[in-house]
Structure 1
Amino acid sequence: MHRSLAFFFALILATVSIATTGLAADADILRFEVSNSGKDRLQLALRRNQAPGRTSGSTFEVRGLAGFDRAALTRDGVPVRFALVREPGRLDCSGRSEGRRARGNCRFTGDPAFASFLVAAGMRRPTEGEWIDLTMVGAKRSLVEALRQGRYAMPSPRGLAGLTALNVTPDYIRTMAASGYRPRRTEDFITLKALDVSPAYIASLKRVGYDRVPVEELIQLKALGVTAEFIASYQRRGYRNLSVSRLVQLKALGILPEEIGRSGSRRPVAMTSEGAPAIMSALLP
């Protein structure tokens, strides 16, 4: 795999891990911090007293934190109280404002029916930390049902949190399947959604002759920003049926078709950067 691709995927995995696994052990005392996060949104961060370096956080609409008075963030010492209620469970929090932030403690109450639903669907019961993460990202039964109806392998509770955090929805799963894409690994939906691989992108590739591209190659194309127009620009120069690996290499090297001179033998010549002719000879037919 090209070095830039390897770096990109490492970055995705690190981002997903930070977003969904901050409280991966059973929780003891939960501490919260709420701050402003743009117009009509609040940032909620949670941490455990016994593991202060590990946090779980997300942004919410103000109305998503039921009972929170945003005006309290403009004054110090104002009591605050709010609840975050989602399908997996609820957080009930109380504290005080200080320095344009609100801090205090939370109590988590998981919904036993939700945990039983996960087990019945073929998943294991979440730990308390995973349960909190599922609540924070807003995991829903409808996503689990979509996976089950599509006969995908059930993810772990952590995987379900990751899918939810990246906004993998039942509609996304169905439309990707209708476009011919059913990943072998359910977790591949995380990478596909993080890269914004959509049915529209898939359709654009099909229009330039790249139909039913394997998921792994589809991910490589999108990660490097290979578009249908990029492919078509080579096709207009006579370079047709380039493999996905060739397209990825050309894009990674920043080589554009207009930089390529053509000789009577149809070999690439007169490149703008030193050493490029030899590279192009290896990459193009």
Structure 2
Amino acid sequence: MHRSLSICLALILATLSIATTGFAAEGGTLRFELSGASRDWLQLSLSRTLSANRTSGSSFEVTELAGVDRTALQGRDGSPVNFTLTREAGRLDCSGRTANRRATGSCRFTGNPAFASFLVASGIRQPTEGEAIDLTMVGANRSLVDALKRGRFVMPTPNTLVGMTALGVTPDYIAAMAAAGYRPSKTEDFLPLKALDVSPAYLGSLKRVGYDRVPVEEVIQLKALGITADFIANYQRHGFRDLSVSRLVQLKALGIRPEELKRQSSGRRTSLSAEQAAPVIMSGLLP
């Protein structure tokens, strides 16, 4: 794999890692930090006192954090802050105090047994408390799991479900991709597809230039390097109509334009013709 493509895919994986980093190890106090992202949004980060490198964070509309006093963050230090976040996977009850226009304190998490049972009944293993917190933070819900079941996809792990939800994989996205002929054999393939914003419209544009039902792995390579239907059509106008995906990736990564490729190809043909003629000439000189 070319270095540029490797870098692109590494960045995608790093994004997914950030989106799905959570509390693998349980125990210790659950701490929060709350700050104002904008007038209507707040940034909430959680961490474990026994796992300093484990954090989970997301932006929430002020109305989602029940009981929070938005103005308290702008007030004097030491003002009390209390709020509750309730979602399908569980509930966070947090309390603390303000300092330097942010609030810090501790939270108590209560998982929703009904949601955990739903996951198990759907073929997803029982989430740990840390995974349940992550599922709560990203807003995982039954509708996404139901969409996977309807599509007869392999059920994801709780962590993959966290990542899919965090990246915005929705039932509509799954249905639209399936309608376009794309049903990943591995459910986790939805992660890079969505992270790269691979849409049915993009797949349709590839189809119009002759690249229909391209394997998911190759679609990811094309989108990671920004290869569009126009990019492919430009080569086709110069006579290159059967370029493989790996060749397109190579051309894009190396920055080789169609005109340059045509000159290179012409040069190789001329060289090849001369080499082929040589044995004929030599045979005429033999006794």
Match of 1:174 in 2: 175
- Alignment map for 1:16-27 (pairs within 5 Å): 16-27=16-27
Match of 1:40 in 2: 40
Q: Is 2:117 aligned against 1:116?
A: yes
- Structure with the higher helix share, 1 or 2: 2
Match of 1:143 in 2: 144
Q: Distance in 2 between matches of 1:208 and 1:119?
A: 44
Offset of residue 4 of structure 1: 2.2
TM-score normalised over the length of structure 1: 0.89
CA shift digits 1:179-206 (9 cap, x unpaired): 0000010000001000000000000011
Q: Distance in 2 between matches of 1:83 and 1:268?
A: 70
Q: Distance in 1 between matches of 2:173 and 2:267?
A: 42
Q: Is 2:51 aligned against 1:51?
A: yes
TM-score normalised over the length of structure 2: 0.89
Q: Is the 8 A contact 2:5 2:253 kept in 1?
A: no
The 1:259/1:93 distance shift into structure 2, 3 A limit, reads same
The answer to which of 32-41 and 238-247 deviates more is: 32-41
Q: Is the 8 A contact 2:32 2:104 kept in 1?
A: yes
Q: Is the 8 A contact 2:109 2:133 kept in 1?
A: yes
Unpaired runs of 5+ residues, structure 2, are: 272-287
Match of 2:280 in 1: none
Q: Is the 8 A contact 1:47 1:54 kept in 2?
A: yes
Unpaired runs of 5+ residues, structure 1, are: 270-277, 279-285
Partner letter of residue 149 of structure 2? R
Match of 2:228 in 1: 227
Match of 1:208 in 2: 209
Q: Distance in 2 between matches of 1:164 and 1:175?
A: 17
Q: RMSD across aligned C-alpha pairs, in angstroms? A: 1.8
- Alignment map for 1:87-126 (pairs within 5 Å): 87-126=88-127
Classify the secondary structure of the residue corresponding to 2:187: coil
The 1:93/1:204 distance shift into structure 2, 3 A limit, reads same
Offset of residue 39 of structure 1: 4.4
Q: Distance in 1 between matches of 2:91 and 2:134?
A: 11
CA shift digits 1:241-280 (9 cap, x unpaired): 11111111110011222455659xx6169xxxxxxxx9xx
Offset of residue 59 of structure 1: 1.0
Q: Is 2:266 aligned against 1:267?
A: yes
Offset of residue 27 of structure 1: 4.1
Q: Percent identity?
A: 69
Q: Is the 8 A contact 2:205 2:229 kept in 1?
A: yes
Partner letter of residue 183 of structure 1? P
The 1:86/1:172 distance shift into structure 2, 3 A limit, reads same
Q: Distance in 2 between matches of 1:247 and 1:73?
A: 52
CA shift digits 1:108-142 (9 cap, x unpaired): 01100000000000111000000000000000101
